[in-house]
Structure 1
Amino acid sequence: MVQPSLAVLERHLLLYRRLWKASVFSFFALPLLFLVSIGAGVGGYVGEVDGVPYLDWIAPGILAATAYQIAANESTYGVLSEFEWVGGIHAMRGTRVTIRDMIAGWLLYLLCVVTLSVAAFLAIAWTFGALHSPWALTVPLVCALLTPGAAGPTMAFAASIRNDGYFELLIRFVVIPTTLFAGVFFPVGELPDGFRQLAHASPLWHGVELCRAASLGTPPAWPVAWHIGYLLLWAVAGWICAEAAFRRRLAS
C-alpha cells in the first residue's frame, strides 16, 4: 500500500489538476507582472542597488516572496475547508492516515506547487538576464526550505479558527507587511532599527537573502549557515504548531 503521506499528496495533486487554471494568475502571471512593472518600469528610475541593476536585484526577492505567499495563502482556505466544509481531514482520520501524514502530505503538495512556480520564474528571470551565477540553480532548494516555515504557522492558524474572516487580518497584517518589509523591494538596511529587527525575524528576509546571493553570486548579509539554520527553525516550529492545532481541532 502507498505510504499514507504520499496518498495524501496524491489526493491534493488530483484536486489541483482539476483546479490549476484558477492559480495561473497568482502563481505565474502576477510575479511576471511585478518583475516587468517594478523591475523594468520603476527600475528605469531607480537605476542600481548595491551596484546591480534594479531589475536583477529585485528578481530574486520577488521569487522568494512568491514562494512565501503561495505557501501562506494556500494554507489558509485550503486547510480550513478540509476541517470546516469539505471534511477531508475528518475522513482521513477514520483511516490509518495520521495527523503527521496529513501535514506531511500537505507540505509535499506545497513543495510541488512552489517548485513549479519557482522554476517557471527562474526561466523568465534568465530571459531577462537577471541571473548572474550558476548558484541560481539552488534557488528552488531555498524556496523549498522557506515553504514549510511559511506554511506551518499558517496551517496552525487555519486549524484553530472556524470563521474565514480571520484570514483577512492574517493577510493584511502579517503576509503583506512581511512581503513589503523583508528586503524584496528595497534594502532592509534603509529601515529604522526597530523595523529592521522585525524584518530579520521574518523567514522571508532570510529566504530573500539566500535567493539574492545565489542569483547574483554575492555573499548574503549573514553567513549562509545562519540563514539556513533560521529557516530550519521556522520549519520545525511551524510543524510543531500545526500538529498541535490539528490535534486540538480533531479532539474538539
Structure 2
Amino acid sequence: MAAEAVAVRRGTGQVLSPVRATLLVVEGLWIWYRRNWRSTVISSVLQPVLYLVALGIGFGSQVRPSEVTLGLPYAQYLAPALLVSAALQTASFESTYPILSAFKWQRTYLGITATPITAGQLVAGQLTWIAARLAFSSIAFLLVAGLLGALTGPGVALSLVFAVLTAMAFAAPVVAYAATIDSEGQQFNVIFRFIVMPMTLFAGTFFPVEQLPAWVRPFAWVTPLWHGTEISRDAAFGTLRLWPTAGHLAYLLALLAVGVHLARRNYLRRLAL
C-alpha cells in the first residue's frame, strides 16, 4: 500500500515489486560501472594481489610453516584472510563517497526516487550492488591466488561467501552513516584511518590475534574482520566447527541487519517527499 501511494502521488500510476525495483537500481549502477570499471581495478583487485605477492610469497619465504601458520606455507595461511580484508576495504570505499555523491553531488538518488522506486527499494538496490561488486573483485582475487598456488582446496568457495558477508556487515552501517553526511566527506577519513586500517593490521589477517598483548585482543574480537577471517580460514582449510562458526555468523548477520535497518531509516528521512 505504501508503494502504491508513492506511485499515485508521483502521478505515474505504476507500482513496482520490490524485486523489480531492486534490480532496476542494480542495472543502473551496472551500466555506469561497466564504463568506468578500470578506475577500481587497482584498489579492489591489484592491491590485494600485490599484498599477497609481497607479504605472502616475498616475506612469507622467510616464515617457516609452524603451529602459528597451522603448518601451512605463509602464502596459503594469508590468502583466505586477505580475501576477507580486501573485500572489507573495497566495501569501505563503496559505502562512503559514492553514497555521498549520489545524495549531494550527482544527486542521482533524487532522480531515482522521482520514479515509482521508493527509498527503501533504493537502499536494497544499492546494498545488492555493493555485494555484487564485492563478489566480482573477490572472485578475481581468488583466480590470481590460485595461479600463485596460494589456495588449499575447494573450501575457498565458501570463504568467498564469508568474505562478502563480512564486508556487507561493515558496509551496511557505513552506508547508513553516509546517508546522514552533508559535508565534503572529511568524516570518512576517520573511518579509513581509525577503523579500517587498525582492523586490517590487528584483526588477525597477517598473524593470529593470540600473538597480540592480552589487553588488545578484545578490540580485535569486536571487529567484523576478525570474525570473517576466522571462518574464512576455517572454510579454506576444512576446519569449520559448528558452534564457533554459528557464533561468528550470528555476529556478522546481526551487524548486517542493524545496518540495513538504519540505512533504510536514514534514506527514508533524507529522501522524504
Please indicate the TM-score interval, normalised by the length of the shorter structure.
over 0.9
Aligned to 1:148: 168
Matched, 1:178 2:236: no
* One-letter identity of the residue aligned with 1:92: I
Matched, 1:105 2:122: no
Q: In the alignment, which of 196, 220, 229 is matched to residue 250 of structure 2? A: 229
Write the distance in 1 (CA, Å) between the matches of 2:241 and 2:206: 16
Give, in angstroms, the shift of residue 219 of structure 1.
3.8
- In the alignment, structure 1 segments of 5+ residues that lack a partner are none
Write the distance in 2 (CA, Å) between the matches of 1:245 and 1:142: 27
Aligned to 1:89: 109
Matched, 1:40 2:57: yes
- In the alignment, structure 2 segments of 5+ residues that lack a partner are 1-15
* One-letter identity of the residue aligned with 1:22: S
Flag as ranges the 4+ runs of structure 1 deviating above 4 A.
none
Structure with bigger gyration radius: 2
1:73-124 deviation per Cα after TM superposition (whole angstroms, max 9, x unaligned): 1111110001011111112222221222111111111122111111111122
Aligned to 1:241: 262
Write out aligned runs for 1:54-203 (5 A). Answer: 54-163=74-183, 164-203=185-224
Give, in angstroms, the shift of residue 251 of structure 1.
4.2
Write out aligned runs for 1:15-34 (5 A). Answer: 15-34=32-51
1:109-154 deviation per Cα after TM superposition (whole angstroms, max 9, x unaligned): 1122111111111122222222223222212211232232111111
Matched, 1:210 2:238: no
Write the distance in 2 (CA, Å) between the matches of 1:54 and 1:220: 23
Structure with greater helix share of residues: 1
What percentage of residue pairs aligned between the two structures are identical? 38
- When the two structures are superposed, what TM-score results if normalisation uses the length of structure 2? 0.87
Write the distance in 2 (CA, Å) between the matches of 1:221 and 1:61: 20
Aligned length: 252
Write the distance in 2 (CA, Å) between the matches of 1:70 and 1:76: 10
Q: Is the 8 A contact 1:212 1:220 kept in 2?
A: no
1:222 and 1:199, CA in 2 relative to 1: closer, same or farther beyond 3 A?
farther
Aligned to 2:11: none
Give, in angstroms, the shift of residue 179 of structure 1.
1.3
Q: Is the 8 A contact 2:45 2:140 kept in 1?
A: yes
1:171 and 1:221, CA in 2 relative to 1: closer, same or farther beyond 3 A?
farther
